[in-house]
Structure formats: structure tokens, C-alpha cells
Amino acid sequence: TSSAPWSEVRERRVAAMGGPVAPLFYDEPLEIVRGEGAWLTDASGRRYLDAYNNVAVVGHADPTVAQRVSRQLRTVNTHSRYLHPEVVELAERLAATMPDGLDTVLFTTSGTEANEVAWRLATELNGGTGALVVEHSYHGSTKWMADLSSNEWPPGHRPSAVGTFRAPIRPADLSAAATGEQVQAAARMLAGAGHPPALLLADSGFTSEGVHDAPASYFEGLLAGAHAAGALYLADEVQVGYGRTGPGLWRFRQSGVVPDLVTLGKPMGAGYPMGAVVTRRELVDHFAGRYEYFSTFAATPAAAAAGNAVLDVLEDRGLPERAVITGGHLVERLRALAADSDLLGEVRGTGLVVGVDVVDRPTARRLLQALVLRGVLAGLTGRDGAVLKVRPPLVWDETHVDVFVDCLERSLTSLAP
Ligand code: PMP
């Protein structure tokens, strides 16, 4: 029950929920009982600045979202096989945020499911059986999406139907021609192994890869390379979408490139499980020649109420535009701090998704813990887990940035030998 002591809850979780298979954040896992805006409160009443949670894109416990969802729950909530205007409205609104041609929306309940559905649409259209992904990618938790998540591969695991190419890390990787050639080289290997690629998937913010800010040329290379290999290009906006990189909703749009498919998730329902694939009608029509698509909880009326409320709050409060300004201040302050620190290196990011290189993984872990002790919640990412990841709710303003960077500075000092 809610009055059980924290240590007992922890033991019961290990016993009932598999322990190490589902790890929690931080050395001492937190029991978060309340949230408001950019702040979270634990069971002891301690408050934390949230520098990490993108599900709460419009802030924790946003009253507009809560009201709209609860009103719908008190009216009716069904599976997704009945007509409901709120659901259709959400599809129309999402399509309107996309480039011309990406006009059809299939709802899901998670980012993983969105990528799986996209995979089915692509393979149905072009008959490919291979997939192209970035080194150290993450695309989901089902068997196939785990195979497409090169960052999660255990030692020795290399699925024969998956080809990898480099994230936009080195200057030499960034031109459209070099990127396209890398993609095509990976595609040739796949085809040689009997798996011509159906789909290239790339997180538009390259977050699991360590947070990389790709120029338009890199996106152009992804699209051209995929198409030359007979594959479709999927922009995975599950993590960086919904205004985080501002001033629009989707990171890929900064490049001018139009992907064949876009997948959405995480922030979409402010915690109400939602995801979506947005694509051209042609792909869905082709699929419909042989299959139906149905997922019980995909855009129920209450989920759609959450989805529409999130879009309303983002729009009414100008949060994507604000992410550009707040993120600019964050990067500027972090670069100044990193310039004076032996423990920090490069600072990368767009809007409010920012990665800071830490000298090594053990130091990064100690830094993360030092931040928690000072009341700030952040995360780690990248191949070696040595990149500090800052990905806060978009309600952050410059005062939150200052609290965060001041805390980071004190945490760095605490680590000094
Ligand atoms: N794609 C990306 C880029 C992600 O970051 C994630 C989740 N971390 C997923 C897909 C999978 O989303 P979900 O956990 O909702 O299935």
C-alpha cells in the first residue's frame, strides 16, 4: 500500500517484477509521488528539478490534459473500433503538421508498436526483408525492434538482416554523398546476405547514439541512400518530436527532407500510452490490399483527448518556440562550464535535447548521482553511457536552466579529487 516503507516497496518490486530485467534509475531509486510543471516530489516530500522526462512534454500533471482526459473517462472510453470525432481530429491535426504528402495517420500505443507497424507497411510495399539503422540506435522493445536497436545488442549479437551505418559524428560523415554512400554500403552487405533492405530507421536527434545535431546534408544522404537501395526512410521522432527541438514540432523538418514514414510516441499523450505512424496514403492502401490494421487501445477517445490537449497546450503556451530560446541559453551556459572543466567535453544539441560528453562512464555515473543528491534528475546516453543527457519538459525557462547548470557546477566540484 502507499504507506509501505520505501525499502519494503523496493524488495517487493524485485520479487514480483523480475529485478535486474527492469532496472530503475539512480543508485537509490526514487519513489515519485507528485509532479507539477518541471518539478517532481518524492515520498519524503523532497523536490527535484526534472531535467530528463520528455513524456511530460507540457509539464507534469498539466491541468488541461488532466481535465480533458478525466472528462472523457467520465463520459465513455472504448476500444478503437467506433467512430469518435476527437480521434479523427487528432489524426487531422497531426497530418497538418507534416510536409505535403504525409497525410495518413495510423495510431498505436507505443513507439515500439509505431515502428513495427511502419515496418509492416514498408515490407508490404517493397518486399524487402532487411533493415538499416544507425550504430548505437534504439527503436523499441519487441524482438524485431530490439534487433533494430544496435545500442542494445549483447556482445556477439549481430542480426543478419540488419545493417548499420555511422551517426553524424565526424565531419567526414556529414556530407550527403558520404552519408548516402555509407548507407548504400550497408545495403549492399544486406542484399549480399539475402536481405535487401525494406526500411532505414533513424532517430532524428540521434539521442541513444549520444545526441548528435545532424546538418540537412546528413538527412539528405539518409533519404538518397535508402531510396537508391530500394528502401524507404523512416524518421523516428518518438524521442525528439513534439516541439523539443523547436520552433516546429518535428526535428526532421529542419532538414527540409521528406521521409516516407514518421513515427511518434512518448510525449504524445503526456503519459497516456500513445504512438502513431504518419505516412503517404499509398503505403496504407497497398497494405490494405491484404491486411487490416487494428490495435485495441490505439487512440481510444480518452487517449485522443490527451493527444489533442497536448497539442493545444504546446500551441497555446508557445512551448516549441520557447524550447529554442531556453535551449540556446542551456547550451551557452553548458559550454562555458565545460570550457572550465576537465570532466566535461563537447556540448551538443538542438532546442531542449542536449548531450554533454563526460570524460568516462564511471565519472558520468558519479556525476549523475551527485546531481540527484542536489535535487536534479538527468540521464546518461551514448555508446559508453558517458554522455549526460538533458531532455526536460518544455515548460523549462531560463530560471530552470540556471538552477540546473548551477547544480551541475556544484556536482562537478564535489567530484574533484
Ligand atoms: N524510438 C525511439 C527513438 C525511442 O527513444 C524509443 C523509446 N526510448 C522508442 C522508439 C520506443 O518507444 P516505446 O518505449 O514507447 O515503445
Task: Compute the average pLDDT of residues 151-176.
Answer: 94
Give the per-residue pLDDT at 2. 52
Count of other CB atoms within 10 angstroms of residue 197: 31
Q: CA 101, CA 99: separation in Å to the nearest integer?
A: 6
Measure 415 CA to ligand 1 centroid, in angstroms: 32
Specify burial of residue 168 (Cβ count, 10 A radius: 0-12, 13-18, 19+): buried
Residue type at 158 in one-letter notation? R
Q: Provide CB contacts within 8 A for 199, sequence distance 6+.
A: 118, 119, 122, 123, 128, 131, 132, 226, 231, 232, 233, 234, 261
Q: Provide CB contacts within 8 A for 400, sequence distance 6+.
A: 38, 49, 326, 392
Measure 375 CA to ligand 1 centroid, in angstroms: 26
Mean pLDDT of the chain: 96
Q: CA 125, CA 127: separation in Å to the nearest integer?
A: 6
For a ligand 1 pocket test, name from 238, 263, 353 the mutation site with the most ligand atoms within 8 angstroms of its C-beta: 238
Question: Which atom from ligand 1 is nearest to the alpha carbon of 111?
Answer: 12
Helices 361-373 and 398-415, interaxial angle, to 10°?
120
For a ligand 1 pocket test, name from 149, 266, 297 the mutation site with the most ligand atoms within 8 angstroms of its C-beta: 266
pLDDT at 183 over 70: yes
Banded model confidence at residue 21, pLDDT cuts 50, 70, 90: confident
Banded model confidence at residue 243, pLDDT cuts 50, 70, 90: very high
Give the per-residue pLDDT at 322. 98
Banded model confidence at residue 3, pLDDT cuts 50, 70, 90: low
Question: What is the CATH T-level fold of the domain 63-316, as seen in this structure?
Answer: Aspartate Aminotransferase; domain 2 (3.40.640)
* Weakest mean pLDDT among 10-24, 191-205, 387-401: 10-24
C-beta of 139 in contact with ligand 1 (< 6 A): yes
pLDDT at 1 over 60: no
Give the per-residue pLDDT at 181. 98
Give the per-residue pLDDT at 168. 96
Look-up of cell digits 528539478: 49
Give the per-residue pLDDT at 387. 98
Closest CA to 49 of 400, 412, 405: 400
C-beta of 86 in contact with ligand 1 (< 6 A): no
Which stretches of 133-215 are DSSP H helices? Answer: 143-147, 176-192
- The answer to whether 235 and 202 are in contact (CB under 8 A) is yes
Measure 119 CA to ligand 1 centroid, in angstroms: 15
- Can you identify the CATH homologous superfamily of domain 6-58+318-415? Aspartate Aminotransferase, domain 1 (3.90.1150.10)
Q: Provide CB contacts within 8 A for 118, sequence distance 6+.
A: 199, 201, 234, 261, 263, 277, 279
Banded model confidence at residue 20, pLDDT cuts 50, 70, 90: confident
Residue identifier of the C-alpha nearest atom 1 of ligand 1: 139
The two domains 6-58+318-415 and 63-316 share their CATH topology (first three levels equal):
no
Q: CA 244, CA 324: separation in Å to the nearest integer?
A: 8
pLDDT tens readout for residues 73-127:
999 999 999 999 999 999 999 999 999 999 999 999 999 999 999 999 999 999 9
Give the per-residue pLDDT at 175. 96
For a ligand 1 pocket test, name from 107, 112, 261 the mutation site with the most ligand atoms within 8 angstroms of its C-beta: 112
Q: Give, as one character, the DSSP assignment of residue 172.
A: G
Helices 301-316 and 85-96, interaxial angle, to 10°?
40
Q: CA 273, CA 265: separation in Å to the nearest integer?
A: 8
pLDDT tens readout for residues 366-416:
999 999 999 999 999 998 999 999 999 999 999 999 999 999 999 999 998
Q: CA 190, CA 162: separation in Å to the nearest integer?
A: 7
Task: Compute the average pLDDT of residues 188-216.
Answer: 97
The long-range contacts involving 86-94, CB below 8 angstroms and separated by at least 24 positions, are 86/301, 86/304, 86/305, 86/308, 87/299, 87/300, 87/301, 87/304, 89/304, 89/308, 90/299, 90/304, 90/307, 90/308, 90/311, 91/299, 93/308, 93/311, 94/264, 94/276, 94/278, 94/311
Helix (H, G, I), strand (E, B) or coil at 202: strand
Specify burial of residue 8 (Cβ count, 10 A radius: 0-12, 13-18, 19+): exposed
Banded model confidence at residue 417, pLDDT cuts 50, 70, 90: confident
Task: Give all strands of the β-sheet with 376-377 in edge-to-edge order.
Answer: 32-36, 39-42, 47-50, 376-377
Q: CA 80, CA 299: separation in Å to the nearest integer?
A: 6
Q: CA 10, CA 277: separation in Å to the nearest integer?
A: 37
Give the per-residue pLDDT at 223. 98
- The answer to whether 280 and 260 are in contact (CB under 8 A) is yes
Banded model confidence at residue 27, pLDDT cuts 50, 70, 90: confident
The residue ranges of every structural domain in the chain are 6-58+318-415, 63-316
Q: CA 301, CA 335: separation in Å to the nearest integer?
A: 45
pLDDT tens readout for residues 297-324:
999 999 999 999 999 999 999 999 999 9
Give the per-residue pLDDT at 26. 86
